[in-house]
A and B are shown apart, each in its own frame.
Chain A
Amino acid sequence: MTAANSHKTGFRFKKDYYGYLFIAPFIIAFLLFGLYPVYNTFRLSFTNTTLMGGSGSFVGLQNYQRLFDTPQFMKAVSNTWLLWILNFIPQIGIALLLSVWFTSVRLRIRAVGIWRTVYYLPNLLMPAAIAALFFSLFSFFGPVNQALVRSGLIAEPVQWLQNQTVARGLVIFIQWWMWFGATIILIMAGMTSISVSLYESAMIDGADEWKMFRWITIPLLKPILIYVFVTSLVGGMQMFDIPFLLTDGRGSPSGSILTNNMLMYLKFSSSQGHIGAASAVGVVVFIMTTVIALGIFYFLREKN
């Protein structure tokens, strides 16, 4: 902000309309590929359009009614929340812990850069490939069973992926594994931007480490914690690749890892290709996520 506002030469004012030219491609692409599809999804959700039948007719709220009548939808929504929350808590927990250790003057942990670099790596890998890897590792004839049986830990191979807890646990583990490194980097960046003098004066007042963490670090870290929370939530509500590719793509065993986006895809890819119904799933989850994300963002931020 500052440099641009304070710098006012004779040239600037005449040329300022160039700003519109520079942002024009973004705006056009956003209108076409961002905004219009959102409108189109809303519009389709009120019709009975199918992939085969071309444009369908207006059916009002029928798609929504059907959606809320089926237990499958509520199951998908609650699964998505469960899978997200259970990976987010350990993710933020371990990131806070490691960030405190890494930035501690007393502990002087060495090679912080290297630890962080290693932990971040999974975040860049292809989620589809990671899910396929775990599918293969835990399949009936896969290496995990082979190793366990050979070492005598279990007598017979186990159908790991037909167990709800194992399937959910794996989705949660993979999500955690892919994201804790990124969260460490964000939280550390927030911590190192807190002024050292605050801690120094607290130390003179006799505060211990926990008190400093609770009353200095956490409050000043709030903006970055909210950012991590909200972006993780928005991503989590759209979870697809990992639960889709870990089992049969329908959320097996018994729908325990069926997520919002998977349900949307199932409606879309059903034999009739009912995209009106699929759109309704998208719209409900879209509204739910947007309202919560923006709500948290604004209500929690205002106080700063």
Chain B
Amino acid sequence: MKQTHRSSLTLFRTLIYIFLFGLVIVTIIPIWLVLVNATRSTLEIQQGLSAMPSTHLFDNYGILEGRGLNLLRGFTNSLFVATFSTVLAVYFSLMTAYGIVVYNFRGKRFFTSFVILLVLIPLQLSIIGFYQFMSRIGLTDNYASLILPVIASAGAVFFGKQYFESVVVHDLIDAGRVDGAGEFGIFHRIMMPIAVPGAVTLGIFAFAAAWNNFFNAFILISSIEKYTLPMLVQLMRGDVYRTEYGAIYLGLAVTIVPIIIIYLIFSRYIVNGIAMGAVKE
């Protein structure tokens, strides 16, 4: 009796592992196709799927360049926008969160629930009003219109609040005050160093969000030399590149490889970070 029960459990577990492995294949295959095909020539790609990389990486780059697609410039533009967005989002979100956690000001409860509420508001739907406003103050086709709004990132403030509630030590703040440090001095010199792990988590999400942002850039940026990577991806779908599969995959690979590298290094922060943003309500 006991024996059959155990062997049926073993069978069940084996089936589960097969299922989990199948899901891994489904998850990896599209990514793997991009990476491998970026190194293969269009001819090779059309001859069939392959799991093995080839030697045409630089040829593919040459094809993109030859058709006027400046991948390097797009990469630099994206890096610029994403880096500045990350710095602003992390710094100001932690600052706001610190203000909520450490001080008891009037309206604090209202403000806190308001921030949580904002997470549920589809603000992207006001893009037209945003565009028209930016156009009036001359900020269309300007990275400022992509970067500055991240100062008010509700989700990031919420995460920062959860984080500070678990790391803020009031004795340290008091000690800082006794030593004559100002309130912002305490935030910068005492609390920020303690908050580095939280800042890293926040930073990764902010970076990925800015790096991947297509819709806003597509609406707000118009001159081609300012195009970010997702906008170049959109261009690559055009007729000029229709049959240049190798070159297209290279373009796609350039957009996803930096994120994959960041993920490989910081995956632990990320997986824990998602859970923290939602659970400890």
Contact = CB atoms under 8 A, between A and B. Distances in A.
Interface of A: 1, 3-5, 7, 9, 11-13, 15-23, 25-30, 32-34, 36-44, 49, 94, 98, 101, 106-107, 109, 113, 115-122, 124-130, 132-137, 139, 141-143, 146-147, 150, 177, 181-182, 185-186, 188-190, 193, 223-224, 227-228, 230-231, 234, 237-238, 240-241, 245, 260-261, 264-265, 268, 275, 278-279, 282-283, 285-286, 289-290, 293-294, 297
B219 A268 contact: yes
Contact of A285 (B17, B26, B31, B125): B125
B275 A189 contact: yes
Contacts of B92: 25-26, 29
A283 B111 CA distance: 25
Interface stretch (B57-65, B194-202, B259-267): B259-267
Interface string B12-27: 1100110010011011
Given A40-B133, A119-B24, 9 more contacts: A12-B103, A23-B99, A34-B149, A38-B126, A49-B132, A115-B23, A119-B23, A241-B215, A265-B218
Interface of B: 9, 12-13, 16-17, 20, 23-24, 26-28, 30-31, 33-34, 37, 45-49, 92-93, 95-96, 98-105, 108, 111, 115, 117-133, 148-149, 151-152, 157, 165, 168, 170, 174, 177, 183-184, 187, 208, 211-212, 214-215, 218-219, 229-230, 233-234, 236-237, 242-243, 245, 248-249, 252, 255-256, 259-260, 262-263, 267, 270-271, 274-275, 278-279, 281
Is the contact region of chain A dominated by helix, strand, or loop, or is it mixed? helix
B129 A38 contact: yes
A245 B255 CA distance: 15
Q: Which 3 A-B pairs have the closest CB atoms?
A: A22-B99, A19-B103, A41-B129
B228 to A, nearest CB: 10
Nearest to A279: B128
A122 B214 contact: no
Interface of B is mostly: helix
30 contacts: A11-B177, A15-B183, A26-B92, A26-B157, A29-B149, A34-B126, A37-B126, A37-B133, A40-B126, A40-B129, A44-B129, A107-B12, A109-B17, A115-B24, A117-B271, A118-B28, A121-B27, A122-B30, A126-B230, A126-B255, A128-B212, A132-B234, A132-B248, A143-B48, A143-B49, A146-B45, A188-B275, A189-B279, A231-B120, A234-B122
A40 B128 CA distance: 8
Contacts of A133: 30, 33-34, 249, 252
A120 B187 CA distance: 33
B101 A4 contact: yes
Could you say which of B37, B101, B127, B187 has the most chain A C-beta atoms within 10 Å of its C-beta?
B127
Which of the listed residues A42, A122, A125, A290 has the most CB atoms from chain B within 10 Å of its own CB? A125
Contacts of A25: 92, 95-96, 151
B212 A127 contact: yes
Contact of A117 (B133, B218, B267): B267
Given A22-B96, A238-B125, A261-B124, A130 B30 contact: yes
A12 B236 CA distance: 58
A13 B103 CA distance: 9
Contacts of B259: 124-126
